[in-house]
């Protein structure tokens, strides 16, 4: 499976060298030492860097290779030729549909999903095949033979990014939307593929540093001509199969007529304007998707005429037929178009205006919140001398798995989209007492956070979309109030993009399907590849590096698959090979106390698991009593535990029974997500000093009530009864909703929780999942908490949003 390498050791060394971007000198030095002083009998046969690269080059046929492309365009009477390297996208698609390892994962047809709750039926939207666009395109395909006719949707990502302070690269990545998101958004087999880099225009033209307006307009047109010329070269191989189909025998031995297309594009705002040949943010009609007038960009509940390939071609043809330059310019400006032929007009099933999608990273995290709302908040607090309070409050946010913490959020030098999203999740209780009473700004932030959480769900139903429509209306209302109070304009393209979010979900599925986040992570790979070049004519060098990485990944897949098959042969499945079942059974009564505990803790039938055994030995109730605070909540722990166990677990428990305990600091709770019904897990702590701070997490308690009931975990215990029975319990204090005290601004759905001073025991089996509570800071009232329903999508829905 490691062919053409001479040995597995040769491949494994090459894999490390390629993935680590090792320099030629390093490889030569290491291989020399491996064959001399480092090892006496090395299994590596590679003699040096040249030998390694020769073997790699001979393996490149395993993947779709890069080829050379070029195009020539004229600027101010002079012809400029641009050369670049690219992969053939159709060859790549064919390699996917004929790959046996992907055969069972490919979705050949669109579907419609429904959820029957017993009283109602709702449609569900998640992967692209569950939405309308794929369905409509599949319906439009005319069947010309007895073979199944299938549309294969693709998603393209393009973005110009810095690899150094002065050098930018413009990668193009293609993803197969007919594969599950867990595959297509990963870097392994079936993941996105680098098609190449759009060549940079500016260095070729030696442009003036300060061009006048006429020169700027000419340069924009020329750049877009080159941009779409590159797209025509790269994606040209898709045109014929997209139009008439191509008959291919797929990996599952079924012959199908396949029709590719690019109905989805993951782009930021600048890239969307280039992709659609539309004018930018200052234009009269600046949206790449519809004809919204500039002055109405803040009207996010209104609807406007959508752009289509047919309508924009009609405008373009009328402009080209104009008798004067002024008439031509006015015709194009009235539709927000540039005088450039859009390549995607000629590619079937690839309407560029429909392909542009709502991107939460640039539209929300780095857009509406990061660039517009958050700066207003910081300025308001700085003007009131309260910025330090915000920093202090955010620093005290309780820890949670994967939640980023910030010490000085008002002075952060670099904040990425993920940072802004995490700030948004926690900021409301941190600022509610710092802003004026009935603050429009706080309500604006909260209403936007609800939109951001809803569009982040990985499965959305019709009811969610109805609520999202209401959230958008509320958000617009509070934006108008903020505009009046703080003189903040919300007339900008990223605000307007909310007009398209609901239709995007219906047409393309959830926002994760067309997020730019998977593509943005590639920029780091591009930077690493650039560092391995000589910084001159880098395109063939960095594409060659990517080709080597693809080869290594492909061979690794073959090696892993071979090992899996070999292990399956050595370790037969008890369900299919009865001879592999061991003779006799291990009886629970024969186990030692330690073995019983180990078996108890690892019981797969339980939805919880205890960890971080504090003392690694059994202790008595009196030993435990000596280690806890001397407060009302921890009084008479042993007596109360005996009573609890006798009442709920062992009615025959003797009053003088010796109960042994194990104390833990960690609890894992597995639960079924109410979003997509997948199994998820929370890692909770009950620790007096976790990373230097006390941490006692909270959890949702199953009481059978319709109302949510919460507890804080003070002690996590395994109790061993004299009979040998083991039971997992927790000492908890309850948090209940209170109506006595309210914050200065009561937002939609605001509930204040009070933590009781008393404690009680509960069985761990009644804990459902963890809950993130944040204190209301800067108040005189102790023990007032806010349930952070923005911590994840499951809590967002459980909490009734």
CB 449 within 8 Å of CB 790: yes
- pLDDT confidence of residue 570: 62
Ramachandran region of residue 489, left (φ > 0), alpha (ψ -120 to 50) or beta? beta
- pLDDT confidence of residue 63: 87
CATH number belonging to domain 590-798? 2.30.30
Rounded distance between C-alpha atoms, residue 762 and residue 766, angstroms: 7
Q: Which run of H or E residues covers position 636?
A: none
Cis amide prior to 4 (ω within 30 degrees) = yes
- pLDDT confidence of residue 489: 97
- pLDDT confidence of residue 208: 60
CB 750 within 8 Å of CB 743: yes
- pLDDT confidence of residue 485: 97
Q: Which residues of 679-693 are buried (b: 16+ CB within 10 A; e: fewer)?
A: eeebebbbbeebeee
- pLDDT confidence of residue 166: 87
CB 188 within 8 Å of CB 557: yes
> What's the 3-state SS for 181-224?
HHHHCCCCCCCCEEEEECCCCHHHHCCCCCCCHHHHHHHHHHHH
What's the mean per-residue pLDDT of the chain?
A: 92
Residue found under tokens 């005088």? 339
Number of Cβ atoms within 10 Å of the Cβ of 697 = 24
- pLDDT confidence of residue 590: 64
Q: Which run of H or E residues covers position 697?
A: none
Distances (CA, A) of 120 to 40, 114, 115, 470, 510: 72, 10, 8, 21, 22
Rounded distance between C-alpha atoms, residue 127 and residue 134, angstroms: 11
One-character DSSP codes across 248-293: EE-TTS-EEEEEEEEEEEE--HHHHHHHHTB--TTSSS--SSB---
- pLDDT confidence of residue 576: 43
Residue whose C-alpha is closest to residue 774's, from 728, 719, 729, 735: 735
User: What are all long-range contacts of 22-31, with beta carbons under 8 Å and residues at least 24 apart?
Assistant: 23/532, 24/49, 27/52
Domain spans, the chain:
8-58, 66-104+152-277+340-358, 360-513, 590-798
CB 491 within 8 Å of CB 129: no
The residue length of the chain stands at 801
Rounded distance between C-alpha atoms, residue 543 and residue 69, angstroms: 13
Can you give the pTM of this predicted structure? 0.92
Rounded distance between C-alpha atoms, residue 39 and residue 113, angstroms: 59
**Residues of the chain predicted below pLDDT 50:** 574-587
Counts for the chain of helices (H) and strands (E), in that order: 27, 24
Distances (CA, A) of 788 to 240, 368, 430, 750, 772: 52, 21, 11, 10, 5
CB 612 within 8 Å of CB 665: yes
- pLDDT confidence of residue 580: 46
Residues 6+ apart with CB under 8 A from 589: none
Secondary structure of residue 765 in the 3-state scheme: helix
Residue whose C-alpha is closest to residue 148's, from 107, 90, 209, 194: 107
CB 12 within 8 Å of CB 52: no
SS3 content of the chain, % helix, strand, coil (to 5): 45, 20, 35
CB 336 within 8 Å of CB 286: yes
Rounded distance between C-alpha atoms, residue 391 and residue 352, angstroms: 44
Task: Please work out, in degrees rounded to the nearest 5, the angle formed at the alpha carbon of residue 204 by the alpha carbons of 198 and 206.
Answer: 135
Residue whose C-alpha is closest to residue 523's, from 157, 84, 60: 157
């Amino acid at each position: 499976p490691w062919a053409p390498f001479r040995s597995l050791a040769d491949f494994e060394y090459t894999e490390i060298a390629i993935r680590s971007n090792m320099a030629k000198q390093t490889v030569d030095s290491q291989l020399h030492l491996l064959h001399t002083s480092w090892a006496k009998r090395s299994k590596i046969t590679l003699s040096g860097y040249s030998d390694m690269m020769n073997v790699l080059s001979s393996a490149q046929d395993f993947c779709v290779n890069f080829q050379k492309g070029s195009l020539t365009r004229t600027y101010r009477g002079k012809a400029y030729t641009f050369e670049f390297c690219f992969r053939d996208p159709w060859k790549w698609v064919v390699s996917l549909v004929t790959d046996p390892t992907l055969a069972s994962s490919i979705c050949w047809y669109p579907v419609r999903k429904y959820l029957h709750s017993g009283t109602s039926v709702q449609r569900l939207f998640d992967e692209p095949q569950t939405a309308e666009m794929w369905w409509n395109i599949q319906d439009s395909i005319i069947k010309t033979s007895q073979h199944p006719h299938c549309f294969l949707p693709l998603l393209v990502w393009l973005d110009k990014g810095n690899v150094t302070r002065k050098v930018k690269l413009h990668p193009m990545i293609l993803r197969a939307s007919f594969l599950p998101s867990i595959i297509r958004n990963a870097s392994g087999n079936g993941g996105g593929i680098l098609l190449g880099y759009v060549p940079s225009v500016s260095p070729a033209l030696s442009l003036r540093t300060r061009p006048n307006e006429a020169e700027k307009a000419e340069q924009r047109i020329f750049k877009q001509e080159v941009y779409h010329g590159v797209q025509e070269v790269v994606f040209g191989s898709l045109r014929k199969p997209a139009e008439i189909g191509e008959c291919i025998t797929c990996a599952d031995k079924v012959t199908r007529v396949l029709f590719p297309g690019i109905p989805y594009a993951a782009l930021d705002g600048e890239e969307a304007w280039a992709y659609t040949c539309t004018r930018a943010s200052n234009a009269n009609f600046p949206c790449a998707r519809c004809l919204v007038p500039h002055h109405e960009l803040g009207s996010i509940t209104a609807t406007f005429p959508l752009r289509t390939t047919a309508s924009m071609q009609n405008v373009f043809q009328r402009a080209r037929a104009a008798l004067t330059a002024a008439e031509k310019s006015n015709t194009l400006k009235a539709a927000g178009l540039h005088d450039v032929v859009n390549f995607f007009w000629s590619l079937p099933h690839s309407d560029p205006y429909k392909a542009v999608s709502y991107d939460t990273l640039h539209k929300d995290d780095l857009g509406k919140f990061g660039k517009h709302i958050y700066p207003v908040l910081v300025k308001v607090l700085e003007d009131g001398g309260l910025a330090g309070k915000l920093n202090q409050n955010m620093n005290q946010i309780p820890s949670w798995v994967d939640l980023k913490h910030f010490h000085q959020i008002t002075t952060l030098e670099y904040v990425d989209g993920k940072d802004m999203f995490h700030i948004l999740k926690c900021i409301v209780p941190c600022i509610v007492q710092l802003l004026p009473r009935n603050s429009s700004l706080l309500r604006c932030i909260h209403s936007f956070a609800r939109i951001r959480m809803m569009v982040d769900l990985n499965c959305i139903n019709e009811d969610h979309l109805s609520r999202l429509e209401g959230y958008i209306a509320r958000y617009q209302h509070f934006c108008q109030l903020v505009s009046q109070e703080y003189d903040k304009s919300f007339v900008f393209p990223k605000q307007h993009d909310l007009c398209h979010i609901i239709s995007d979900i219906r047409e393309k599925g959830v926002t994760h399907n067309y997020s730019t986040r998977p593509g943005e992570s590639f920029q780091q790979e591009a930077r690493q590849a650039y560092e391995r070049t000589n910084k001159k004519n880098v395109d063939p060098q960095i594409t060659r590096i990517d080709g080597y990485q693809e080869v290594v990944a492909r061979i690794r897949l073959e090696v892993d698959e071979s090992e899996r098959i070999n292990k399956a042969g050595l370790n037969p499945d008890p369900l299919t090979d009865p001879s592999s079942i061991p003779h006799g059974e291990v009886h629970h009564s024969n186990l030692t106390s330690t073995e019983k505990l180990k078996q108890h803790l690892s019981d797969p039938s339980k939805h919880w698991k205890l960890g971080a055994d504090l003392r690694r030995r059994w202790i008595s109730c009196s030993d435990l009593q000596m280690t806890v605070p001397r407060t009302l909540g921890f009084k008479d722990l042993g007596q109360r535990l005996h009573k609890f166990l006798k009442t709920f677990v062992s009615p025959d428990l003797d009053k003088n029974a010796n109960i042994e305990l194990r104390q833990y600091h960690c609890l894992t709770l597995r639960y079924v997500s109410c979003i997509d019904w997948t199994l998820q897990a929370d890692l909770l702590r009950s620790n007096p000093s976790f990373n230097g701070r006390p941490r006692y997490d909270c959890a949702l308690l199953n009481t059978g009530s319709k109302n949510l009931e919460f507890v804080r975990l003070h002690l996590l215990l395994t109790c061993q009864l004299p009979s040998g029975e083991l039971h997992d319990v927790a000492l908890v204090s309850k948090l209940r909703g209170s109506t006595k005290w309210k914050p200065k601004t009561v937002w939609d759905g605001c509930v204040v929780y009070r933590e009781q001073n008393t404690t009680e025991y509960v069985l761990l089996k009644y804990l459902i999942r963890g809950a993130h509570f944040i204190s209301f800071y800067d108040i005189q009232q102790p023990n007032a908490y806010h349930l952070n329903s923005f911590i994840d999508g499951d809590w967002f829905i459980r909490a009734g949003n």
